[in-house]
Chains A and B, each alone.
Chain A
Amino acid sequence: EDQVTQSPEALRLQEGESSSLNCSYTVSGLRGLFWYRQDPGKGPEFLFTLYSAGEEKEKERLKATLTKKESFLHITAPKPEDSATYLCAAHSGGGADGLTFGKGTHLIIQP
């Protein structure tokens, strides 16, 4: 059974304090690893897709990386507006439903 585990469940940082969020996955035949940002009461917003180990993607203060077993979302010098829940999902390509989500990391950036 495909599994995606995110850690920590919650993270509180000071503004400017860099850190990383972890997404560990166990899927049969990974076809893609996705990161989403979700604000309270809103739908998830797509951030990145990673396809192969060693790949990196960047967007503003966020950088996503991928290994054969996990993905990291690095947040550099975060600002309060980066506060959100970050979700990762693994796509195993098993048809239209071959997507497994983690439970998310709730990130709070304090000014």
Chain B
Amino acid sequence: SQTIHQWPATLVQPVGSPLSLECTVEGTSNPNLYWYRQAAGRGLQLLFYSVGIGQISSEVPQNLSASRPQDRQFILSSKKLLLSDSGFYLCAWSARRTNTGELFFGEGSRLTVL
């Protein structure tokens, strides 16, 4: 069966510091991968998605970036965090072959920028 791992679960960082959140998927090949941010009252906001190694699409202009160095690894980064980057970040995968749209989420990473 497929599993998705996301870490760290909780992160407290000062403004201006770098960020790296990592996500890996097991039990499937060639997945579509996604990074979402969830803020209270705003729902899920798609930040980045990837259909393959090195292929990243950005949905929202921001100081965040994403990379996909391996087929089942997806990384969310920032060089300098802003207060507004605080939130709950979710990694997700879907089956590229069928593209039914069903997403499967990781456990999330709570980021607090102080």
Contacts and interface: CB of A to CB of B under 8 A. Distances in A.
Interface of A: 31-32, 34, 36, 41-46, 49, 87, 89, 91, 93, 96-99, 101-104
Nearest to A31: B101
A81 B45 CA distance: 27
Measured as residues with beta carbon below 8 angstroms from the partner, the interface class of chain B is: 20 to 34
Nearest to B107: A43
Contacts of B76: none
Interface of B: 6, 32, 34, 41-44, 46, 49-51, 57, 59, 88, 90, 92, 94, 96, 99-108, 110
B49 to A, nearest CB: 5
A102 B41 CA distance: 10
Contacts of A46: 102-105
Main secondary structure of the interface of B (DSSP, over half): strand
B51 A42 contact: no
Given A32-B100, A93-B101, A103 B57 contact: no
Smallest CB-CB A-B distances: 8 pairs: A91-B101, A43-B105, A103-B43, A101-B44, A43-B108, A96-B32, A32-B101, A96-B49
A34 B108 contact: no
A79 B41 CA distance: 25
Contacts of A41: 88, 108, 110
